């Protein structure tokens, strides 16, 4: 699988090591195969996931972890609500209505716990006393990570509801022959990723041959804004290749936009 890491500056002697659900490191630190991306301080590696791994530490020395990438969503690991002393209910809403199917991640140190909200917007965790970081992900919504404290006097809720902001669908395109293509990019903590440039090229993928043949026009680009959104108008019913290693991996993403709007997350 493709691992990615983003730092504020270029790193020397970079390596990574996998960890399990208890936060214990697995195997040895790996330094081979790490590729520097065009954006300064960004890297990826094509790695084999060891048994029991749920995440990876990226570090610039053998002991100092400088970035953590949780892999549970990517590899489809089931919910793990914890086994602490207090039953804590997390409620996710859009400010008015409960949200079903939101993926809630609660972290403390190297421990990561997961649950998915039900029809009433609730997800239940079993937590010990401590301060936890909460992140929520759901298609079409945006969430700013928060820290909450659980104490022995906790009344059964994580202090207050976690509120997600609805991401509006972009406006219809300027021509009936076009589709507004968009994507909302977030990091593993649910924070928007700004400044990612996505390159779009028109391609034909013949069924008879595996070669990719460019048809017409030059490449177009769109850049994610402060809210993590990139949008662009593209020709409808034409196959495109979207390129951004951090968002789509080294092979890019092929898609055919239809309708007024098209979310790349659905491709």
Instruction: Kindly report, residue by residue over 195-248, the tens digit of the pLDDT.
Output: 989 999 887 544 433 444 444 456 889 999 887 889 999 888 888 888 887 777
- Give this prediction's pTM: 0.48
Nearby residues of 243 by Cβ (< 8 Å), 6 or more positions away: 198, 199, 200, 201, 252, 253
DSSP 31: -
Hey, what domains does the chain have and what are their CATH numbers?
A: 2-75 (no CATH), 86-166 (2.60.40.1120), 178-266 (2.60.40.10)
Q: What are the DSSP calls for 80-116, one per residue?
A: B----SEEEEEEEESSSSB-TT-EEEEEETTEEEEEE
> Which SS3 state, helix, strand or coil, does residue 247 take?
helix
Task: Give me the phi and psi of 90, to 5 degrees please.
Answer: -105, 125
pLDDT tens digits for range 128-172: 877 787 777 776 676 666 667 776 555 444 544 555 555 666 778
Between CA 227 and CA 232, with CA 229 as vertex, the angle to 5 degrees is: 150
Nearest partner of 255 among 247, 265, 245, judged by Cα: 265
CA distance 248 to 114: 24
């Amino acid at each position: 699988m493709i691992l990615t890491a983003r730092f504020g500056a270029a790193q020397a002697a970079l390596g990574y090591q996998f960890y399990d659900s208890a936060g214990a490191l697995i195997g040895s630190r790996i330094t081979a195969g790490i590729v520097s991306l065009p954006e300064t301080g960004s890297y990826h590696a094509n790695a084999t996931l060891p048994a029991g791994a749920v995440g990876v530490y990226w570090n610039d020395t053998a002991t100092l972890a400088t970035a953590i990438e949780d892999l549970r969503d990517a590899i489809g690991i089931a919910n793990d609500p914890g086994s602490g002393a207090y039953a804590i209910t997390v409620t996710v809403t859009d400010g008015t209505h409960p949200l079903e199917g939101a993926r809630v991640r609660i972290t403390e140190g190297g421990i990561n716990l997961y649950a998915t909200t039900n029809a009433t917007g609730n997800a239940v965790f079993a937590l010990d006393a401590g301060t936890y970081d909460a992140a929520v992900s759901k298609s079409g919504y945006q969430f700013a990570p928060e820290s909450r404290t659980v104490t022995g006097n906790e009344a059964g809720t994580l202090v207050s509801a976690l509120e997600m902001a609805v991401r509006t669908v972009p406006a219809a395109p300027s021509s009936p022959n076009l589709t507004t293509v968009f994507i909302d990019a977030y990091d593993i903590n649910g924070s928007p990723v700004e400044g990612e440039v996505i390159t779009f090229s028109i391609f034909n993928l013949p069924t008879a041959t595996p070669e990719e043949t460019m048809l017409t026009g030059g490449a177009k680009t769109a850049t994610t804004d402060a809210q993590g959104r990139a949008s662009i108008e593209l020709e409808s019913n034409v196959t495109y290749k979207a390129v951004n290693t951090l968002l789509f991996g080294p092979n890019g993403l092929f898609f055919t936009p239809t309708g007024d709007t098209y979310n790349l997350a659905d491709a």
